[in-house]
Amino acid sequence: MTRLRELADTTDALRATSSRKEKGELLAALLRRLAPAEIVPAVGMLLAKPRQGAIGVGWATVAKVPTAPSGATAADDADAPADDGTGADVLAFDALLSEIAVTTGPGSEAGRQALLSEFLGRCEPAEREFVRRVLIGDARQGALAGVMTDAAAKAAGVKAAAMRRAVMLRGDLGEATAIALLDGAEALDAVDLVVGRPIQPMLASTAADVGEALEAAGGEVSVEWKLDGARVQIHLDGDEVAVYTRNLNDVTKRLPQVVAAARDLDCRSAVIDGEILGLFGDGDLGDSGGDDPAEATAANPLAFQETMSALGTDSDGAAAGLRPYFFDLMALDGESLIDRPLRERLAALHRLASERCVPQRFTTDRDEAQAHLDDAIARGHEGVMVKGADSRYEAGRRGKSWRKVKPVHTLDLVVLAAEWGHGRRQGWLSNLHLGARNPDTGDFVMVGKTFKGLTDELLGWQTEQFLHRQVGESGHTVHVRPELVVEIALDGAQSSTRYPGGVALRFARVRGYRPDRDPATADTIDAVRALLPGA
């Protein structure tokens, strides 16, 4: 039985060091001490992402619950012994989270507060603070998924690459950690893509232009239109179809048109990577009058915000008007293709569904690649993806073999805090504090602020979202869990002593929130520094 105090002490130690190596060693030591049943819940707790998911408890609820046991004073709490024989353990906290998760309906808030208050009364001071942080999603110790993955590999004595691959294919860090610790390298290597179980998508790095992307690839590439829609992963197994978002949320019932398109495919099973997009009129991406989808003439795409608004409506068939377009094939008729080169995957995809493929062409010629980019832009799309023709599908990785090329500088950043507005924005959280991901620690480094590009509708939405994610406040600033990814357009970057990363955004403005994207895949501080003059 592992005491919750051990997780709390480890979290404090993680917070006290900036060394990724030391963080990994601290976590690995803790993971080795866990009992088998504790591994999955403990991993979630350490990441402040419990395995139960959202349980209806946030900052507002936690703030109403006393942090000291009934009858104790703040002084008593501060002076409590480090180990007085009381306290809670990992499985007890996990059981509490499960009980709170099913406490719903009238009077549920009071019921959740009562459950939490009783549990906290059994905890030591350090444990109570740890519980509070887990409940509001405030890890703030620099041990996010990447650090935890490497620590799990170290604890189990397996290769870090094998661990990362298993996490991506399993779709759950806690489960992959349990496999590694309990069953070892052979079982970890056996983890593979399974139809019906979503995997984390392969991601792309950024290139300034097609020439840079071609040079980085060092050979033949596939140049594909980059659609400004919502990414989806489609799993087909007989008549059963499941559709998942980039964040692995199941949206099957909202997308009947995608389900119908999958069932029309001439295969027994498949896993397909693609994009859903709304279009004006009756045209389609492939309306060219010929057989080559690269010669498509009609597009007129809806704005990303309209696509996401349709997808985000929580009702069956809400996004029926969104059309699917495919750009990769990860499995076909029981065979995993993720280790096959892209050229083979695309050949199989075009044989399966050529009329639904994103327009693409293989080339080594810069002018031809630029022409394909110009064509995409002229038809209202974001730009192009430039992918190495021999690249594997590296699930969950922001690989160098895939590059996105867009004419406007944009970054996916994470909101760290927001300031209450003034004047006509009174009552709304407006000025955003933006953070880029530190790849060494998993933390977020503030790189600037912006209040530009925010409509009244967006101001109202984000105020509600921020208050739901609040973890603290200072003056007129509300600090939030780093969960919301926002796409920021900017004119570049400049050196700055104001922010800890030594760099600041120039003329940043909001293009829109990206609920389809995860903070762990946000752009890094290195990507921001790459925009510095002369970088």
What is the set of active-site residues? Answer: 226
Write the CB contacts of 53 (distance below 8 Å, at least 6 apart in sequence): 101
Write the CB contacts of 489 (distance below 8 Å, at least 6 apart in sequence): 408, 409, 410, 453, 508, 509, 510, 511
Dump strand ranges (E) for 451-491: 470-474, 477-480, 485-489
CB 67 within 8 A of CB 80: no
CB 360 within 8 A of CB 222: yes
Q: How far is CA 273 from CA 218, 331, 358, 370, 401, in A?
A: 25, 10, 11, 24, 17
CB 110 within 8 A of CB 145: no
What CA–CA distance (Å, rounded) separates 141 from 45? 12
Q: How far is CA 503 from CA 80, 495, 498, 521, 530, in A?
A: 44, 4, 8, 20, 10
Q: How far is CA 68 from CA 110, 116, 118, 419, in A?
A: 18, 12, 10, 31
CB 461 within 8 A of CB 487: no
Cα end-to-end span (Å), the chain: 52
Which is nearest to 101 in space by CA: 138, 40, 175, 51?
51
Alpha carbon of residue 101 to chain centroid: 23
Q: Beta 477-480 vs 410-420: how paired, if at all?
A: antiparallel
Burial class (CB in 10 A: 0-12, 13-18, 19+), 98: middle
